[in-house]
Amino acid sequence: MRGVVPRLWTGPVDDVEESPPVPVNGRFALWTTPCVALVRVTLRPMTIEVPPEQLYALAAALRAQGDEADDVGARLAVATPEVAATLAAAVAAFLEAHRVAGGAVAGELRWLGGTIAATADSWLGLDGSLLAPRGEVVPQ
Average pLDDT over the chain reads 76
Confidence of residue 7 (pLDDT cuts 50, 70, 90): very low
pLDDT digits (tens, 9 = 90+) for 20-46: 655 555 555 555 555 566 778 888 888
Residue 94: C-alpha distances to residues 73, 87, 88 (Å): 12, 10, 10
Instruction: Identify the pLDDT of residue 62.
Output: 96
85 pLDDT more than 70 = yes
Over residues 44-58, the mean pLDDT reads 88
Gap between the Cα atoms of 78 and 71, Å rounded: 11
CATH numbers and ranges of domains, the chain: 52-130 (1.10.287)
Residue by residue, DSSP assigns 22-83 as PPBTTB--GGGSPP------PPPP------HHHHHHHHHHHHHHHHHHHHHHHHHTS-----
Rounded to the nearest 5 percent, the helix, strand and coil shares of the chain are 55, 0, 45
Q: For the chain, what percent of residues have pLDDT higher than 90?
A: 25
The residues, ordered by sequence, that sit 6+ positions from 81 with a Cβ below 8 Å of its Cβ are: 91
- Residue 55's nearest CA partner among 106, 5, 112 is 112
